[in-house]
Chains A and B, each alone.
Chain A
Amino acid sequence: MLKVDKINVYYEKIHAIKDVSFEVNPGEVVALIGANGAGKTTTLHTITGLIRPESGQITYSDGEGGQLDLTKMPPHKMVAKGLAHVPEGRRIFLQMTVLENLEMGAFCKGKASKEDLDNVFARFPRLEERKKQIAGTLSGGEQQMLAMGRALMSHPKLLMLDEPSMGLSPILVEQIFDIIAELHKSGTTILLVEQNAEMALQIADRAYVLESGHVVMTGTGAELAASEEIRKAYLGG
């Protein structure tokens, strides 16, 4: 579905991503784990075109026969192809209402349909209670739900989540991961970027470990969770 092939990304002179390759197959949950500054967010930004790679290929197939070269596609055209990106720090529109945020999520569809809104509200009942509220007044957990709900409004085929657990209490983290598991069950392919390796590896079919811009390890979620090195480096022994 998504194939990232030897991409290299620079911030001015800093070589942030070095020959990174990975794949996401339809129906999978794939996790990118690694410490702060390993290049996880940069990788996602490169996929959605907010940053362009110096070299390498990123191809995406939407399941309808088309092979799209994402390195040449303007970022605003991607969401219509089924590629939704929930960025790090949620990046919801803080001065707009909850409902308006969801409407923006459906921007590529034209108008937000009642059915889609009801679906999001069924998954996140808190958002329905607060739909008239300015998004900046929501709690951190509610903002994460809004960011995910907003992405779901576009009917993503591939949902990319960047640090959905960041800054949330353990109970909320559990809740967010339950929702990710549900989305996966209902057929959405997921690319998950997480610092919380423990949670990410529990849910992931496969995972890649990034370290200073390199992919240093890959395997199934269970394999990596059992690996000695991973336990030492990311799971606290």
Chain B
Amino acid sequence: MSFINNLINGISLGSVYAIIALGYTMVYGIAKMLNFAHGDIIMVGAYICFFVCSGAGLSPILGILAAVLVCTVLGIVIEQLAYKPLRQVTSLAVLITAIGVSYFLQNAAQLLWTSNPRIFPAIFGNGGVQLGGDLTIPYKTLVTIGACVIIMVALILFTGKTRTGKAMRACSEDKDAAQLMGININSTISLTFAIGSALAAIAGVLLCAAYPKLIPTTGSMPGIKAFTAAVFGGIGSIPGAFLGGILLGVIEIFSSAYLSTELANAIVFLVLIVILLVKPTGLLGKKISEKV
């Protein structure tokens, strides 16, 4: 029974990683940059939801909506102020800027909200669904896994079926050619940051629903792990981010349950290294040969 429990916990944690990884992978796909501040958007989302629910005592739905709204705007503003002026420079400069933005957000959170931990409220209740025996699946776990599946399906439909989604894929492949088709690159990049940051807000709420201790660095480790998950699944690929996230979560929970709690993170990264040695493009990474 505890195996099933661990599996469900792993999938649930993996779902959070997957939602974060989807944001990483979309931004990477379009803007060709690793937005290392992505993890800290998660933290901002969680704080906003915390203040709306615990501080103002409003409903969790409002808390989530507020978090999504604030993070979407924050994502667009960060892109405009920090990354857009660097479109033409080396990717290394952009990477360093992203790390700078990450520290900026953490320090701003410390200044605004102090580094005293806050206990995130149980916004999905404490109950669960009884599955016979001593197996109970908490509501928060069901919500997390459900949200992840819905988000992934929605993103696949969006990029595969809608005009804007297809334009996004065109941009990710060839920006000059996309412009010649009449696609506005700047607004496409803004939209990508908006979607990624909105997902980060949701991930922040789900993460803190499962692990309620909220501090200004709450987002950084999950952010790095989700980045790992995105690379693991094949960066730029939406199903890859999903698969990478889930696998990472399951590996992490199993390692800490059966091998060693202390070494769980090390094992996660070890698996990543092995996978990348065998398949450098990640599990679902695309490699397409160009014909002349």
Partner of B182, one of A96, A139, A154: A154
Contacts A76-B185, A104-B167, A107-B167 given; does A136 touch B291 at CB 8 Å? yes
Contacts A107-B167, A136-B288, A167-B292 given; does A94 touch B180 at CB 8 Å? no
Which size class do B's interface residues fall under? Answer: 20 to 34
B173: chain A residues at CB < 8 Å are 93-96
Q: How many residues of A contact B (CB 8 A)?
A: 36
- Min CB distance A166 to B, Å, is 8
Partner of B169, one of A79, A93, A108, A139: A93
Q: Which residue of A lies closest to B167 (CB)?
A: A107
Per-position contact with A for B95-119: 1 when CB-CB < 8 Å, else 0? 0000000000000000000000000
Q: A76-B182, A91-B174, A107-B183 known; 14 other A-B pairs, CB under 8 Å?
A: A75-B176, A84-B180, A85-B180, A87-B176, A93-B170, A95-B169, A95-B288, A96-B166, A104-B167, A107-B167, A136-B289, A136-B291, A150-B181, A154-B182
Bound together, the chains give a CA A93 to CA B170 distance in angstroms of 6
The 8 closest A-B pairs by CB, nearest first: A108-B182, A91-B177, A79-B182, A75-B179, A107-B181, A76-B179, A136-B288, A107-B182
B286 at the interface (CB under 8 A from A): yes
A110 at the interface (CB under 8 A from B): yes
B286: chain A residues at CB < 8 Å are 95
Bound together, the chains give a CA A138 to CA B288 distance in angstroms of 12
Per-position contact with A for B165-202: 1 when CB-CB < 8 Å, else 0? 01101100110111111111100000000000000000
The A-contacting residues of B in range 243-292, CB under 8 angstroms, are 286, 288-292
Q: Which residue of B lies closest to A168 (CB)?
A: B292
- Min CB distance B138 to A, Å, is 40
B290: chain A residues at CB < 8 Å are 94, 136
- Residues on A facing B (Cβ under 8 Å): 48, 50, 74-80, 84-85, 87, 89, 91-96, 100, 103-105, 107-108, 110-111, 134, 136, 138-140, 143, 150, 154, 167
B170: chain A residues at CB < 8 Å are 93, 96, 104
Partner of A93, one of B174, B179, B185: B174
- Residues on B facing A (Cβ under 8 Å): 163, 166-167, 169-170, 173-174, 176-185, 286, 288-292
B181: chain A residues at CB < 8 Å are 76, 79, 104-105, 107-108, 150, 154
Residue pair B166, A100 in contact (C-beta under 8 Å): yes
Residue pair B183, A76 in contact (C-beta under 8 Å): yes
Bound together, the chains give a CA A79 to CA B182 distance in angstroms of 6
A92: chain B residues at CB < 8 Å are 177
Bound together, the chains give a CA A111 to CA B286 distance in angstroms of 28
Of B184, B185, B286, B291, most buried by chain A (CB within 10 Å of CB) is B291
Residue pair A103, B166 in contact (C-beta under 8 Å): yes
Of B181, B185, B292, most buried by chain A (CB within 10 Å of CB) is B181
- Min CB distance A56 to B, Å, is 21
- Min CB distance A55 to B, Å, is 21
A108: chain B residues at CB < 8 Å are 181-182
Bound together, the chains give a CA A229 to CA B116 distance in angstroms of 82
Bound together, the chains give a CA A95 to CA B13 distance in angstroms of 32
Residue pair A94, B176 in contact (C-beta under 8 Å): no
Residue pair A50, B176 in contact (C-beta under 8 Å): yes
Q: Which residue of B lies closest to A139 (CB)?
A: B291
- Min CB distance A50 to B, Å, is 5
Residue pair B182, A111 in contact (C-beta under 8 Å): no
Partner of B163, one of A48, A110, A154: A110
A100: chain B residues at CB < 8 Å are 166, 169
Residue pair B182, A94 in contact (C-beta under 8 Å): no
Residue pair A138, B291 in contact (C-beta under 8 Å): yes
B166: chain A residues at CB < 8 Å are 96, 100, 103-104
Bound together, the chains give a CA A104 to CA B174 distance in angstroms of 12
Bound together, the chains give a CA A92 to CA B176 distance in angstroms of 11
Contacts A136-B291, A138-B291, A140-B291 given; does A96 touch B179 at CB 8 Å? no
Bound together, the chains give a CA A96 to CA B177 distance in angstroms of 13
- Min CB distance B89 to A, Å, is 14
A87: chain B residues at CB < 8 Å are 176-177, 180
Contacts A95-B169, A95-B173 given; does A104 touch B183 at CB 8 Å? yes
Bound together, the chains give a CA A78 to CA B178 distance in angstroms of 12
Residue pair A75, B174 in contact (C-beta under 8 Å): no
Contacts A93-B169, A93-B177 given; does A140 touch B183 at CB 8 Å? no
- Min CB distance A112 to B, Å, is 9
Residue pair B180, A48 in contact (C-beta under 8 Å): yes
Bound together, the chains give a CA A192 to CA B177 distance in angstroms of 18
A96: chain B residues at CB < 8 Å are 166, 169-170, 173
Partner of A79, one of B180, B185, B288, B291: B180
